[in-house]
Structure formats: C-alpha cells, structure tokens
Amino acid sequence: MLKDKYIDYLTFEKRYSTHTLIAYRTDLEEYSCFLLSQYNIIDLLQSDHTFIRSWLISLLERKISTRSVNRKISTLKSFYRFCEKMGMLTTNPMNKVVSPQISKQLPVFLTNENIEKLFQSVDFGIGFKGSRDKLVVTLFYATGIRREELINIKVNDVSLENGTIKVLGKRKKERIVPIGTKVIGEIEKYLLLRADLIEQLKISNPNDSNSLFVTSKGLPVNPKLIYTIVHKYLTLVSSVSKLSPHILRHTFATHMLDDGADINAIKELLGHSSLAATQVYTHNTIEKLKSIYKQAHPRA
C-alpha cells in the first residue's frame, strides 16, 4: 500500500521517531476515512485541495486545536511531497492549502520553589521503584531531555567517570549531555538496585536488560509508565496543568536561562536544530522582568 511505502520512507530514510511515525500514520488513516465517508474516495492520490480544506474545516468545527490541525497539515504536505518524488503526482494538492495561525503560548514551567519541594520534601520511597522514579524525575530536570530520549538511554550510554550521558535525539542525532555530582550519585544508587533486580529475575538475554530504565519485571520502560511516574510526583508540588515530562524540559531551559546560561548552550543541551526553537524561553524571562519592573519601579 502507498501509505505503508510512505511510512517505510519516513522510518528508514528520514529516520523519524516511533512517536512521530505513529502520529503521521494516524493522520493519514483519519484523512483516508474522511475521504471514504464524505466523497467515497479510496485512493489518496485522487484527493484535491478542496477535499483537504473540507477535512481541515471539519476538524476545526470539532474544536480540534490549531496546533493539532497544523500537524495534520504537515503530515499531508510530507505525504504528497513523497508522492511527487515518486512520480505519482503532477500537481501537489497541498500547494493551495494554507495553515491556520497558531496563537503563541509561552511554555509552562515549575518555579524554583516547586523544584526545591520536589527534591527536598517529596518521598519517592525506598527500593528499586523509588530509586528509579527519583532518577527519572531528576534526569528530566537536570538535563532537559525528551521522554523518548530518556527511554532509549542504555546502561553503556552513561559515563559516570566523565559525568556525561549519550542521548539519541530526533532524526537519530546523538548528543552528549553533562550531569552533575548529585545526578551521578542518584545513578550509582539506582544501578546497584537495578543490578540486584536483574540478577533476581535471572534475565539471561543482555538485550532484555540493556535499557537504563526498566520495569520491576526487568523490561524496558514505556512512554505511559514514564508519564505516570512524572505526573504522580509533580502533582505533589504543583497545580499547573499538563504535568508531563515535557514540563520538566521547559523548566530546565527556563531556569538555565534565568541563571545566566548562554542561549546557544541551552540550544545544544536541548538538541534543538535551530535557535528559533530555543528562543521561546526568552519570552518567559522577559515576562518575569516586566513583572519585577512593574513591582519595583516608582513610575512603572
């Protein structure tokens, strides 16, 4: 099938992440269902810009967020570019489709007080699970890595001697992120408990126990578990919405910038391909400065 060929192209040539592949496949399936139900069209190559616009309008009418709609547009743009490249199209229907404007939202982040309470007052528990959960939360805040990057860390990606972790980012790009002595201490504790667990479970296949973060059954952790861990502990220190692993990434970048870190260094640590993606964090700093100015200046 054409969709399968396209997904193979994204997988092996573009080297997209598993999360992105699932999103793109889902978008194509949704559009295919729309074409079939509304126009009795099975072949995506028979679509034109009017059908696509009709689908996008239906999504917006269903209160699908503008950001999600724009991602679906990106999926179709990529898909039809692929079809052009393969010589299946002479005219790209996406050429006449305009993306809706997204209202800019500042990244949500935790305060320094939230973070202090998280690591000083919250009880993560003892034993393997407690150590693992604390290290998960610690690494997100200490390095700003993404959820999938954390899941993909292998034991041999961690260099305690050098104080670094090798991370596999988007497009399979590797980068080295530094870790401090407190993080190293947490890793050392966790590795001892992890080794005991693996030995107790008598896992003989190295591939089953190579992931840094594993479940109590010795299997690699999954995205849902990591989300659950982070959400569980962040709800104890903050009431803001979307208490996900990504909020710790935002918090890392914001706190680094607030404390004077160079924005280009933050860009490299986050694994951003362009500075524009990192500059969004400067808005939080500017808003903070505005607030301080209004409170302190006699003529503000």
Q: Which residue among 16, 80, 141, 281 is the active-site one?
A: 281
Q: What's the confidence (pLDDT) of residue 299?
A: 58
Q: What's the confidence (pLDDT) of residue 285?
A: 60
Q: What's the confidence (pLDDT) of residue 206?
A: 52
d(CA 138, CA 160): 15
Q: What's the confidence (pLDDT) of residue 104?
A: 59
Per-residue pLDDT of 274-291, as tens digits, reads 887 787 777 666 565 556
Q: What's the confidence (pLDDT) of residue 102?
A: 61
Residue labelled with tokens 């503000």: 300
Give the angle subtended at the CA of 204 by the CAs of 203 and 208, to the nearest 5°.
65
d(CA 230, CA 178): 21
Q: Which residue among 71, 77, 170, 175 is the active-site one?
A: 170
Q: What's the confidence (pLDDT) of residue 300?
A: 47
Residue ranges of the chain with pLDDT lower than 70? 102-106, 204-209, 283-300
* Sheet of strand 174-178: strand arrangement: 158-159, 164-168, 174-178
Structure tokens at 56: 């996008």
Q: Which residue among 117, 231, 272, 283 is the active-site one?
A: 272
Of 134, 133, 174, 135, nearest in space to 152 by CA: 174
Our answer to whether residue 272 is catalytic in this structure is yes
Our answer to whether residue 62 is catalytic in this structure is no
d(CA 204, CA 219): 12
Kindly tell me the burial class for residue 94, based on how many C-beta atoms sit within 10 Å of its own C-beta (0-12, 13-18, 19 or more). buried
Q: Which residue among 25, 49, 166, 246 is the active-site one?
A: 246
Q: What's the confidence (pLDDT) of residue 135?
A: 98
3 state DSSP class of 126: coil
Q: Which residue among 147, 194, 249, 255 is the active-site one?
A: 249
Q: Which residue among 134, 146, 250, 255 is the active-site one?
A: 146
Q: What's the confidence (pLDDT) of residue 182?
A: 94
Q: Which domains does the chain have, with CATH numbers?
A: 2-96 (1.10.150.130), 112-295 (1.10.443.10)
CB 249 within 8 A of CB 140: yes
* Cβ atoms within 10 Å of 146's Cβ, excluding its own: 20
On average, the pLDDT of the chain sits at: 89
- Kindly give the pairing relationship between strand 158-159 and strand 174-178: unpaired
